[in-house]
Amino acid sequence: MTQSIEELVVELVVSTLLSLERMFVAYLLSLLLALVIGVVMARNKYVESVLLPILDILQSIPILGFFPAVFLIFINTLGPIVGGELSSIFLIITSLIWNMIFGVYSSIKSLDPSVDYLARIYRLSSIHKFLYIYVPASRSSIAANSIVSWAGGWFFLTSAEVLSMGKTEYRLKGLGSLIIKAFEDGNTTLYIAGLLTLSTVIIISYLMIWNPFTMKYTDTKILLGFMRIYNSIDRIVSKTWGSIAGKLIMMYNFIKSRVGSTHTVFLILPILSIQYLLYPYPKNLYGVDYSILSKVLRYGEDFLLEVPNTLIRVYSVVVVGLVISVLLAYISHTRFRVGKLVVMSGEVLSSIPAMIWWPILLPLLQGFPYVVMGFIYLQGSLWYTFFNILIFGLSNLKGNILEFSRIYGIRGVLYLSKVFIPSLLPSILAGGLSASGGAWNASIAAEYIAFGDLVVDMGGVGSLLNKQAMAGDVLGILLTSLFMSLIIVSINKLVWVKVLRRISGYYVVE
Amino acid sequence: MVTMSLSKDLVLEVRGVSKSYTSGGKVFEVLKDINFVVGREYITILGPSGCGKSTLLKIIAGVEKPDKGEVVFNIGGKVRIGFVFQFPTLLPWMTVLGNVTLPLIAAGVPKNDAVERARRVLKIVGLEELDDFYPSELSGGMKQRVNIARALAVEPDILLMDEPFSNLDPLTAENLRSEVLDIWSSSILPIKSVIMVTHNVEEAVLMSDKIIILSPRPARIVKVVDVNIPRPRTRKMTEVQELVDRVYEYVS
């Protein structure tokens, strides 16, 4: 099948816009939810005591495992078009939202109590408190977490656009599904064009949105700041925004003058959904047969047989990720310029979706399957420790500690063990906690890799979940995910949280 | 000595206020049966660190509830309270102007009026040029001025100040003290009473009409000292020095 250039471009542009829209809707919903949930949780003890453990579980369970079930529920109740789109957005949200909620929650929690008195003495209403205190107070953590989340969202885009459940496969039009399809069809031109478009979109959204946003609201000036051309990029960015905003305001005023302001929003929303009418989806949805009578015990046995494999892999990956991150942190800390470069490379590398690596990884798959598995594991977990330690952690190493170390000549190993690592400890632990959640989730993608006829099965719980999904075994998926969540939550509660509680209060330098 | 006609000049009355905290299973008594009246005057609450002065101020401001007793205001309508925090407590994400207008906007003052009022008080504290600066760009003294301006902007009936000068360098503190006294005595603002908390004896004698001396925890009123020294007062005045010595005796 040959396509004309024109068709190819239209295909690419439409797919990109659809994917972008999905990402934005998911991001905005996550942002709104994160702000509301985070603030309420931080401000209301009852909500906190109920939600904190629930969110903790939701954050650490493998969403990918639960996903086929959610997908089925959405499709069955809402029909394929709306249901498919909603499941896709739902999946993206589940990869964006958790760190954002915890970011908002911890910034509000750490707010100076005198701000609370201020709000009460001057009788600020809830809305005023939300707008003038809580939202701006969480700006910097929202900014920092948005980068991680946005990257994570692109990373999951393929899974979110190619929804599969046993024999049922359902593709949403978008950049992720386009790239996969091009790869499967062996359409190299489209595949490369897709990857290039994807990278361009990621870089542009980073330059246009996240970099200016983080520069404005966090103290970290290290993102991208090292580039000589940065200033000119910055100028172009603000100019572009200026003209876009100008055009939008003109448009808005034009519509408003015709229909009045409240109706304008309702007018814009349908415009966004028109595209779904223009690009109807193929209807290739079959019923799935699965038997609920399968024995729970057998699933438990399967799970217990597979879990040691995954357990060892997950926590080795977390340790490797921590070592890498601390090393990189030390290098960035001692060599400022290198540091900027490291963080910036991290930004870009972390948002590159897994599929871009396939052309490199596929040849390795036959000879070195462990390398490929380790790579996918790392890609799903390293970034949590990386960003936590290099952005939050390093900014905690405040000037006075550095001065103190310099004055008393604390250097080398002594500096590393008594000053550097202890100051990073809160972020090492927080990052490690998220990273282990990420690694568990990554096990699903890492332990069972199928590309065309090539199937590499490394065993483990992730592989088990994959096989159950292939067989359309919903009960199996649910039970296996539940067992897995149980293990993760117990480890978090028994080990991680205890350590975290022990060090909090000791390791925060004021 | 002028006798105060209570019915007309009474602004607020603190009646039998007691307060204790529980921490780690232990009960700390902070305030014990505090009684005093405040007229149209400048009152200083003086006591050692950690004796519960700030708690008393927060109870008067209505943001802490006493276990026993009450604070009664003799003011028609809603009582407007300005509060100068010990630390400036400025919101770092808002400009000076934004910080000062926030309480007004919360009180439902229209934006334009709020800005106008904020500019007026910023001028009074000498910061009219800096209204679009962010707190991080200001010195400690300037931040404290914004803190004061914010309290003045609500056009308070009662101005409460929690050790307002204790975290400033001596020179800045000295300047701000005389500015606060100027604002108070010039009656450009409708402030009926000022209640200031301090642990600085000299500051109390130089500034106030009445000093309420509290004991260490649990705080009780040791003595109420009237300060009948004509203003402006200076450290070198013998009356001031004598009174400082006298007050020190009650404190120690």
Q: Which residue of A has its CA nearest to B62?
A: A121
User: Looking at residue B210, what is its pLDDT?
Assistant: 95
First to last CA, chain B: 27
CB contact under 8 A, B91 and A117: no
Residue A202's closest CA among A141, A136, A155, A262? A155
Cα(A448)–Cα(A439) distance, rounded to whole angstroms?
14
- Does residue B218 come out as left (phi exceeding 0), alpha (psi in the -120 to 50 range) or beta? beta
CA atoms within 13 A of residue A122's CA, in its CB half-sphere: 33
- Asked if the model's pLDDT at residue B36 lies above 90, the reply is yes
Among the partner-chain residues B61, B83, B102, the one whose CB lies closest to the CB of A132 is B102
Contact B111/A at CB under 8 A: no
Which of B89, B97, B162 would you mutate first to test chain A, the one with the most A CBs within 10 A?
B89
More confident residue, A328 or A57: A328
CB contact under 8 A, A121 and B63: yes
Q: Which residues of A touch B87 (CB under 8 A)?
A: 114
To the nearest whole angstrom, how far is the Cα of B107 from the nearest Cα of chain A? 7
CB contact under 8 A, B91 and A132: yes
- Asked if the model's pLDDT at residue B198 lies above 90, the reply is yes
The identity of residue B60, as a single letter, is I
Cα(B149)–Cα(B84) distance, rounded to whole angstroms?
9
Percent of chain A whose predicted confidence (pLDDT) is above 90: 6
In a 3-state reduction of DSSP, which class is residue B82? strand
- How far, CA to CA in Å, does A277 sit from each of A78, A154, A267? 16, 25, 16
The DSSP-derived string for B100-136 is: HHHHHHHTT--HHHHHHHHHHHHHHTT-GGGTT--GG
Q: CB neighbours (10 Å) of residue A489? A: 16
The single-letter DSSP state of residue B137 is G
Cis upstream peptide for B232 (omega within 30°): yes
* H-run or E-run covering B63: none
- Give the pLDDT confidence of A344-373 residue by residue, as tens digits: 777 777 766 655 666 677 777 777 888 888
* H-run or E-run covering B21: strand B12-23
- Asked if the model's pLDDT at residue A229 lies above 60, the reply is no
To the nearest whole angstrom, how far is the Cα of A137 from the nearest Cα of chain B? 8
Cα(B159)–Cα(B84) distance, rounded to whole angstroms?
8
Percent of chain B whose predicted confidence (pLDDT) is above 90: 52
ipTM of the complex: 0.73
Domains along chain B with CATH numbers: 1-75+192-252 (3.40.50.300), 92-158+168-184 (3.40.50.300)
Cis upstream peptide for A422 (omega within 30°): no
Which of A107, A123, A131, A213 would you mutate first to test chain B, the one with the most B CBs within 10 A?
A123
| Mean predicted confidence (pLDDT) in A416-445 | 81
Comparing A42-46, A259-263, B28-32, B95-99, which segment has the lowest mean pLDDT? A259-263
User: Looking at residue A90, what is its pLDDT?
Assistant: 86
| Mean predicted confidence (pLDDT) in B190-205 | 93
CB contact under 8 A, B89 and A117: yes
**What is A1-223's CATH topology?**
MetI-like fold (1.10.3720)
| Mean predicted confidence (pLDDT) in A450-469 | 79
Among the partner-chain residues A112, A115, A121, the one whose CB lies closest to the CB of B83 is A121
Task: Determine contact, residues B99/B89, Cβ cutoff 8 Å.
Answer: no
> Given pLDDT bands bounded at 50, 70 and 90, which one contains residue A185?
confident
Cα(B54)–Cα(A133) distance, rounded to whole angstroms?
24
Structure tokens at A400: 């006075």
- Asked if the model's pLDDT at residue B1 lies above 70, the reply is no
- Give the pLDDT confidence of A1-14 residue by residue, as tens digits: 456 778 888 888 88
Residues A215, A220, A225, CA angle at the centre, nearest 5°?
Answer: 65
Which of A107, A118, A130, A510 would you mutate first to test chain B, the one with the most B CBs within 10 A?
A118
- Asked if the model's pLDDT at residue A287 lies above 50, the reply is no
Among the partner-chain residues A115, A120, A132, the one whose CB lies closest to the CB of B89 is A115
Unique residue bearing structure tokens 């600085």: B200
Count of pairs with CB atoms under 8 A, one residue in A, one in B: 47
Contact B81/A at CB under 8 A: yes
What pairs with residue B62 in β-bridges?
A: none
pTM above 0.90, yes or no: no
**What is A291-510's CATH topology?**
MetI-like fold (1.10.3720)
Structure tokens at A323: 């070592």
- How far, CA to CA in Å, does A509 sit from each of A105, A205, A503, B29, B45? 21, 35, 12, 31, 34
User: Looking at residue A290, what is its pLDDT?
Assistant: 40
Residue B62's closest CA among A130, A119, A39? A119
In a 3-state reduction of DSSP, which class is residue A158? helix
More confident residue, A164 or B74: B74
- Give the pLDDT confidence of A88-117 residue by residue, as tens digits: 888 888 878 888 898 888 888 878 778 888
- Give the pLDDT confidence of A60-96 residue by residue, as tens digits: 665 665 666 677 777 777 777 778 888 888 888 887 8
Residues A449, A453, A456, CA angle at the centre, nearest 5°?
Answer: 30
CB contact under 8 A, B91 and A115: yes
Neighbour-count burial of B72, counting CB atoms closer than 10 A to its CB (0-12 exposed, 13-18 middle, 19+ buried):
exposed
Q: Which residues of B touch A112 (CB under 8 A)?
A: 89
- Per residue, what are the HEC states of A470-488? HCCCHHHHHHHHHHHHHHH
Sheet of strand B42-46, all strands in order from the earlier edge strand to the far edge: B81-84, B158-162, B193-198, B42-46, B210-214, B221-226
More confident residue, A133 or A417: A133
Among the partner-chain residues A114, A124, A139, the one whose CB lies closest to the CB of B93 is A139
Structure tokens at B95: 């400009």
Q: Which residues of A touch B63 (CB under 8 A)?
A: 117, 120-121
* Those residues with Cβ within 8 angstroms of residue B14's Cβ, 6 or more apart along the chain or in another chain: B34, B35, B36, B37, B38, B56, B60, B69, B71
Where in chain A do CATH 1.10.3720.10 domains reside?
A: 1-223, 291-510
- Asked if the model's pLDDT at residue A173 lies above 80, the reply is yes
Cα(B87)–Cα(B90) distance, rounded to whole angstroms?
9
Q: CB neighbours (10 Å) of residue B252? A: 6
Among the partner-chain residues B61, B91, B93, the one whose CB lies closest to the CB of A121 is B61
CB contact under 8 A, A124 and B102: yes
Cα(A17)–Cα(A14) distance, rounded to whole angstroms?
5
Q: Which residue of B has its CA nearest to A130?
A: B106
CB contact under 8 A, A121 and B87: no
